[in-house]
Structure 1
Amino acid sequence: MQQPIDSQSLVARAEELVDLAKKAGATEADAVTVRSRSRSIAVRLGKVESVDASESDDFSLRVFVGNRVASVSANPGFDAATLAERAVAMAKASPEDPYACLADDEDLSRDHPDLGMFDGTDVSSQELTDQALEMEAAALAVNGVTNSGGAGTSASIYGLVLVTSRGFSGSYVGTRFGRGISVVAGEGTSMERDYDGDSAVRYVDLDAAAKLGRTAAERAVRKLNPRQVDTGTGVTVIYDPRVARGVVGHLAGAINGAAIVRKTSFLREMMGQQVLRKGLTILDDPYIVRGPASRPFDGEGVAGSKLVMVEDGMLKAWFLSTSQAKELGLRTNGRGARGGTTVSPTSTNLSLEPGDVSPEDMLKSVRSGFYVTEMIGHGANIVTGEYSRGASGFWIENGELTYPVSEVTLASNLKDMFLSMTPASDIDRTYSVASPTLLIENMTLAGR
């Protein structure tokens, strides 16, 4: 993929918006321009179902008139002067927000590190098609697979520019390549579905297409003829890494500065206290080379740093952007993210660091329990911590996976889950939230 994004032209456009906003009466302003290009191929049963290509250019301007703030967005072709005047007029009519402001000068990034986020590999549409077909063919060749849910490949490039009236100007370009497949095993009322996929900054780092197809197929076949199990309490549950990420994601939501400000997190009073088992660490690092969520600066131009969110089980930090930090009497830690015309705190490359026990030994340690491979629904309440989600996977007997299980519900409270979980030594850092295999004790399982 060649680099079609001219960052200098985007910088010039953003600088123009900021200058015009100041002339229209803004006391401060910042402008963001985002340009993206993507191509994707979808195939099913050996035939191409869709070939999609998209290009987008998004511009947003945020203006401050004292403590009044307003934001506007536009597509290419807009009149910059009119947009700036409209934004300032909206700000003047807005209520005052004592916490609305640009990032302080001392927090701004001065040196933007090269994080290796761009791969110039030129992947043709034909190659994307061939890879999707290869994935599907490998899956359909596995005995027991009866249908395909489709396979897809994609290649995308994006560029972001941020300019502020305080003199900050920065830009970066990144790429993302992906492969994924879904297959069906069995027939009639005994069909089961499963999937596999991969995503990477560099094309060469993707898992082989045939491997992804075989893995998805083997997973689906293994789930055939599931059983229900009896309802019980005190159940030991092991979360496969692909679902363990969700547990860590619930913790990230509970320590997000926006939730703390709104008082909608069950951990809002837990700073400096034990939230995980002793010895456990959670890190957030925006500077990982080729990391899935790496960035040289945040959505406000603030320099990020590697943060220890939880150390030895103790909660050490919230995710903060400038306004949330100001409201809490703290200082931003460079976790602001632009979402359209707003800035909200978010994690970057978040990871629950692995433990010492291998996933194999962890499994062997469980006499009777449940190994989860897929979750259903969104039953995690960040306000109260109550947790109740549908699940499927395999029953554990004497340290071994025995038969597939479906149509059960797992329930507990997130606070109790966090304090009782044990991480294995494996970890997959492919996605922005990474977790090893997790063992969580004393859960309630609702079955037959």
Structure 2
Amino acid sequence: MPEEMKVNSFLINLPFNLDKKITVYRKGWATVIQTDFGLTVTYARWSGRSTVTLPVAYAGAVCGLCGNFNMDRKDDMLMRDGTLAPNPISFGQSWKVGDLPGCSSVMIPPCATLEAIEKEQRGSRVQCGLILYKNGPFRECHSKVDPNGYFLDCVYGYCFLSGRESNVCQAVAGYAEACQEAGAMVRPWRTTQFCYLSCPLNSHYELCSSSCDLTCSNLYAPVQCTTQCKEGCMCDEGFVLSGDLCVPISQCGCLHRGLYYQPGETFHPSGSCEEQCMCQAGGEVVCKAFSCGAGEQCRLVDGVQKCHPFGSATCSASGHPHYLSFDGVPFDFQGTCTYILAKTCTDASDLIPFTISVEKEDWGTRNVSVAKLVSIQVYGITLTLLQNKQGLIMGADERCDVFTVDSASEEINSSILHQLE
């Protein structure tokens, strides 16, 4: 369940309120976006269900996969060029935003046992059959939300994914969510043996919570939210949401310029890195002048504005004894052992560890040494570059063979990728 979102590429904590024009908050397992003109968008990551609700003022003024909202079901599948689509695939393709890497239409593969599974599930009171069961937990919903589409989705997933329970639970939860949005009563349907959910620390499961999640942020600035009940994990009494954790109220973070920050979180509120603030325990924000260090640049990466390293530096070992460090310090050193040229020396989780070593040997006299080989350890394999073996690479520990680089670069790449799997 997402407790963070991006606003203009900046990652922020929920809930969020922009001048009372836009409000974003969590409701059960869904994230809800509401505007002051009546637009409501929900997204439940757990079930993948999304909804868009519009006021009647927008009737006939919209287009897209959701139709044109003109009260005429015959022309809902209008394509971008204004013509009726001959089939759903053409309709969907016409509303594609753009060609992105990996973007393509997906053909639904056939399932040989689909008909038999559908017949079996229709007569069942469990799994997908629970959706249709006339005396089951969704009996008050059948007249408000047609269960057949949800049932068929569940059956197809059951067939294609060999009865995987997580897929069945996702389909049933999707119908339960649609029922609650329609105002229908949903009876308990999860059990310890079927679709059981374990909630995080200091929270508990509720089938129908009619209140919004109480968060550290809305203690300072309450948000208006829908009154429809939702299924989800709710904080225990005396606890409130701080990000994705239920914490005692005394451990809440800070509200600064309308945005919520967790205790210990550092941030740059001005959109640049000229000021750095920290949220301290008790809700106090302490700010100070700040600037990025040498070799750093203030940039937005993965929604976080902070100082990031940029550029590169090169260390060299050349000639007989000559070295030049990353920071440009020259020195001479002789030796006939194996030495570490460079390696990662911190446990930073955002850095990929590596070790580069060089083996030196006599060059016809004890007073001069030259590099015999260079080894690189990265991604769990060792690559060794050999003297007088130009175009060859050797894998250590007998995990890679010797390859000719020029004529078998694809073979090298596939071998290395195989070792990484």
Q: Of the two structures, which has the highest relative contact order with CA contacts closer than 8 Å and spacing of 6 or more?
A: 1
Does TM, scored on the shorter chain, surpass 0.5?
A: no
Using structure 2 for the length normalisation, give the TM-score: 0.19
Structure whose CA Rg is larger: 2
Structure with bigger strand share is 1
TM-score (norm 1): 0.19
Whose helix fraction is larger, Structure 1's or Structure 2's? 1
